[in-house]
Structure 1
Amino acid sequence: MTTLTFAAAQSISIAGDLAGNIARHQHFMQVAAEQGVQLLVFPELSLTGYERGLAAQLAIAPDAAVLQPLRDFAREVGVTAVVGMPIRLSDTSPVLIGALTLGADGSLGVYSKQHLHPGEEVAFAPGSGGAPLIIGADTIALAVCADFTHADHAAMAAQSGAGIYAAGVLITAKGYDPDTALLQGYADAHSMVVLMANHGGATGGWESAGRSAVWASDGSLIAAAAGTGNQMVVARRNPAGWTGEVLVVEPA
Structure 2
Amino acid sequence: MRVAVAQLPSVAGDVAANVATALTALDQCDGADLLVLPELFLTGYTLPPHILGRADDPRLASLAEAVAACGTTVLAGAALGGSPRPTLSTLGLGTTGARRLYDKQHLSGGERDCFAAGEAGTVLDLGSVPVGLAICYDACFPEHARAAADAGALVYAASIAYYAGSEHRRDLYGHARALDNGFFVAIGALIGECGRARFCGGAAIYDPEGRVVAAVPEGAQGIAVADLDLDQVVATRAAHPMLAERRRLPVLQRITL
> Same fold judged by TM-score > 0.5?
yes
**Equivalent position to 2:36, from 30, 35, 41:** 41
Letter in 1 for 2:210: G
Note if contact 1:30-1:77 (Cα within 8 Å) is conserved in structure 2.
no
2:130 counterpart SS class = strand
Quote how far apart the aligned CAs of 1:240 are. Answer: 9.6
Aligned-pair distance for 1:67?
2.2
Of 39, 50, 53, which aligns to 2:48? 53
Mapping 1:1-252, distance limit 5 Å: 4-32=1-29, 35-55=30-50, 58-89=51-82, 92-106=83-97, 108-237=99-228
| Distance (Å, rounded) in 2 between the aligned partners of 1:164 and 1:235 | 13
Q: TM-score, normalised by structure 1?
A: 0.85
Runs of 4+ in 1 over 4 A off after TM superposition: 238-242
Paired residue total: 233
Structure with higher Rg: it is: 2
2:231 and 2:103 mapped to 1: Cα distance? 35
Which runs of 5 or more residues in structure 2 are unaligned? 234-257
* Structure 1 position 24, deviation (Å): 1.2
1:156 shift after superposition: 0.2
> Which residue of 2 is the match for residue 246 of structure 1?
none
Q: TM-score of the superposition, structure 2-length normalised?
A: 0.84
Percent identity reads 30
| Structure 1 residue 206 displacement after superposition | 2.4
Residues 228, 86 of structure 1: alpha-carbon distance in 2 compared, 3 angstrom cutoff: same
Matched to 2:46, the amino acid is E
Distance 2:23 2:37 in 1: 12
Q: Secondary structure at the match of 1:171?
A: coil
